Chain A
Amino acid sequence: MGSITLRTITKKFGQRQVLHDINMTVQDGEFVVVVGPSGCGKSTLLRIVAGLESPSSGDLEFDGRVVTRVPPHERNIGMVFQNYALYPHMSVFDNLAFGMTARRTSRDVIQQRISEVAALLEIGSLLKSKPGALSGGQRQRVAVGRALVRSPYAFLMDEPLSNLDALLRERMRVELRRLHDQVRIPTLYVTHDQTEAMTMADRIVVMRDGRILQAGTPEEVYSQPNSVFVAQFLGSPPMNLVRVARRPDACVVLEGSEGIAAAVPDWIRRSPSSAWWLGFRPERIERSHNGSSGLDMTASIRTIETLGARYHVHANWGGFPITWVTQDVSGLMPGSPVSLTVSWDHIHWFDRNSEQRVTESADFSFPLEAGGVR
């Protein structure tokens, strides 16, 4: 068991650069989710770790050993693909045994490994079936079993849940995470689904356009997003963002249709920028009672969505659409105004030019290198 380290990995396909100086580490036993929109380079990253692609420059280390030029099968990687890649003409048993048979592992060992894995994943009764006869969830488990059966150094998963329906996806999220807690094999998991990232990961790596934007635990990335993109990408419904600009007095003005001014904390006026995105999460908004110590706003309600336990209230504040997640909508109805507030602790500021986070202490910065190199 060990770690996976990527050092200044770049990848070019012809003229197109799909990865820029990627540095990251997956620690032993860690579950790292790389999340980003399609085309951000996350799958290429995974395939480089697997050895299916070679990086244009940079190095890959397993447990401190450089494996950049090691062919894929010597890396001992277990991989799960989005389409599972189970061979349809072979039984589940043969699918699980395929790699070991090709490597001339003895029959007894094959038999033993497969029954262990089958017991762990509860697929013992399926071993004689063909993949075509299995349900989506069962195929998923078989694909994981095939990756597991060789006792891999690491797990790589490429959008493994994307082909499942919503209900099954939720169940498999829990199952995969529980499996990881049992076997503790370092796992690199790629997805475009922020929910999977938030719920499964020990650490999240957010990517866009071939670059890592931010890395950290789900809580860190969620509560301290370092850029507008990360702020909007993680969380559902996404963070509310409002365009604001400096005003000579102690206020900023909303650049919406109504030009509402709001008083803001001192430090923000001392910052060098003069135009910001002001962001707050829908679930951090509260009904305003007199004497609140945050950003106060009077919004007009447009629609109220019922989700059972909670409501999504879509409203308009100073010309900007905002969403508010609440459990209590008593006395509210579309068209009526409502007084809301967000504590200053939960207000995020982003410079409008750089799209980067603006924080109170100027020298506070977020490490790009996820987890750091130890």
Chain B
Amino acid sequence: MMDGGLSAGTPRGTARPNVLSWLRRLQQYALKETLIGYGLILPSLLVFLVFYYGPAIFLLYISFFHWNIFASRSSFVGLHNFVVLANQPLFWQSLLNTGYYVLLVVPVTTLLALGLALLLREARNIRGGGLSQALVFLPHVTPVVATSIIWTWIFDPNFGLANAVLRVLHLPQLGWLASAHWALPSVMIYTVWHSVGLYTVLFLAGLSTLPKQVLEAAQMDGARGWLAFRRVVLPLISPITFFVILLATITTMQTFSQIYTLTGGPHGGAGGPAFSTTTDSLLIYQTAFLYLHFSLASAMSFVLFMLILAVTLVQKLIADRMVFYR
């Protein structure tokens, strides 16, 4: 009876199957492509979910719970972990150390990278130009532990190259990594050396998009050249400068390997002497994996996460006012 009604050829009876078949047809083609698409993104999606987004969400959870990796039970403790954290002088010291470290490394690296980029800019045509760019970039691809070894020698108070240079210049000898005063600056020097090549290359890429006349105007000697540089070149490369500063800040806020390597080894446990090089990343590592205080380490991670988020947002706000986008 139903069939009869549908096949009777009334306008309504024919319209409905048409719409249905139209939908089905549309679905069928899209469906296959959709399935293939999901199949193809699945491998990377799994990696991102399991190892990155999952842990990021999990971090929220474990920061607010008293929680033990080996126990099956956990209980909500609210801000308890953060209160404990706030009562740890070392936590505050690590934040200070990190701030000190970031505030020196980022501007120095950025300025140095910009200078190197300007210096290397037109070197590509000159013989050896490509080589000098490669050599400036080279440290960035070297493994941190391997090159830290040579820097611990350079910073050796008795036989190192650093003090040898100071001696030649008739400057006082320094304790470098062995001194609570100079240990963190020593790590800074290493970090600048290791990362400045990357930012130089980023600046070079930015500069290469500028019109030639603009840079030639800025090449002029004296006040006019400087003025042209400040008024023309700097605004034009401000997007890349912003990117460099942001990237450098986020990276240096998370420095770990060189601190661990340079300040460990011959000079005792990493982070010394006298906790002068204990930064946030190092403290998280030690709290979690040496002292197994996972809840506390999670709370610290959460603070670091929020700090980095805040820095990113603040820099973005500043950039929106100052960066000149073409």
Contact = CB atoms under 8 A, between A and B. Distances in A.
B28 A69 contact: yes
Interface in B24-39: 25-26, 28-29
A27 interface: no
Contacts of B22: 56-57
B29 A54 contact: yes
Contacts of A69: 25, 28
Nearest to B29: A54
A132 to B, nearest CB: 29
A56 B26 CA distance: 8
Interface string B84-103: 00000000000000000000
Interface string B6-29: 000000000000100010011011
A22 B24 CA distance: 21
Interface residues of B, number: 6
B104 to A, nearest CB: 51
Interface string B190-224: 00000000000000000000000000000000000
A57 B25 CA distance: 9
A54 B30 CA distance: 10
Nearest to B30: A54
Nearest to A69: B25
Nearest to A55: B25
B293 to A, nearest CB: 56
A57 B22 CA distance: 7
Nearest to B28: A69
A57 B14 CA distance: 13
Interface residues of A, number: 5
A106 B155 CA distance: 70
A57 B26 contact: no
Nearest to B18: A57
A68 interface: yes
A350 B88 CA distance: 94
Nearest to A53: B29
Contacts of B29: 54
A162 B29 CA distance: 31
A54 B18 contact: no
Contacts of B18: 57
Contacts of A54: 25-26, 29
Contacts of B26: 54
A57 B21 CA distance: 9
A9 to B, nearest CB: 12
A54 B28 CA distance: 10
B19 to A, nearest CB: 10
Contacts of A68: 25
A68 B18 CA distance: 14
Interface in A55-94: 56-57, 68-69
Given A57-B22, A69-B28, 7 more contacts: A54-B25, A54-B26, A54-B29, A56-B22, A57-B18, A68-B25, A69-B25
Nearest to B22: A57
A114 to B, nearest CB: 30
A72 to B, nearest CB: 10
A71 to B, nearest CB: 8
Interface in A202-223: none
A54 B26 CA distance: 8
A102 B26 CA distance: 27
Query: A-B pairs with the 5 shortest C-beta distances?
Result: A54-B29, A54-B25, A57-B22, A69-B25, A69-B28
A57 B23 CA distance: 10
Contacts of A56: 22
A68 B25 CA distance: 9
9 contacts: A54-B25, A54-B26, A54-B29, A56-B22, A57-B18, A57-B22, A68-B25, A69-B25, A69-B28
B108 to A, nearest CB: 47
Nearest to A54: B29
Contacts of B28: 69
Contacts of B25: 54, 68-69
A144 to B, nearest CB: 28
A54 B25 CA distance: 8
Contacts of A57: 18, 22
Nearest to A57: B22
A355 to B, nearest CB: 33
A68 B26 CA distance: 11
A69 B18 CA distance: 14
A54 B24 CA distance: 12
A56 B28 CA distance: 13
